[in-house]
Amino acid sequence: MNFSTTILPLLILAIKEDPNFENATVTAAYENDIKPYPVTKPIVAVSIDKEVIGSRIVTVAENGERTLSKQRQIDLTFKVSIFAPYESGANTCFSMFENMSAMLMFNDAFHIVNGRCFDCKYVRDCNALQLDAEFIWRTYSDS
């Protein structure tokens, strides 16, 4: 089962419904690294970077007997690019990242185990600031 096709729309919808992002455009990431122009208000672009399906989980009983379960750990890494008008400053990007981190990591509907952001940089192509981040969503499957 490809979890990314079901989780990405849920993730975009959750960000759109969060009051901290009511003035931002939230969308699936731009294909082929196409940059938005002009950036007149914040834009949040989300995409799945990779999906890793682990080996079946082994359980060990008290007597030492090992059993191979049907469960597998699945880690989805999704990338977030936050664009903000240059005039608004880098704090806009970092503030949006902090709000997104809080919304995702402390919400039981999401199983985020890790999140980080990278340097905020000026992107000449769109005359805007861009902050890239990534989050890891962990779930388990019986398939």
**What is the CATH number for 126?**
3.30.2000.10
Across 56-73, average pLDDT: 81
Which residues, at least 6 apart from 47, have a Cβ–Cβ distance to it below 8 Å?
A: 8, 28, 29, 78, 79
Q: How confident is the model at residue 32 (pLDDT cuts 50, 70, 90)?
A: low
Across 63-77, average pLDDT: 84
What are the tens digits of pLDDT across the range 112-137? 999 999 999 999 888 899 999 999 99
Q: How far apart are CA 50 and CA 21, in angstroms?
A: 25
Name the residue range of residue 88's domain: 4-57+66-141
For residue 10, what pLDDT is reported? 87
pTM of the model as a whole: 0.81
What are the tens digits of pLDDT across the range 4-16? 567 888 888 999 9
Across 49-72, average pLDDT: 81
| Contact (Cβ atoms closer than 8 angstroms) between residue 3 and residue 78 | no
Across 52-74, average pLDDT: 81
Q: How confident is the model at residue 88 (pLDDT cuts 50, 70, 90)?
A: very high
Number of structural domains (the chain) is 1
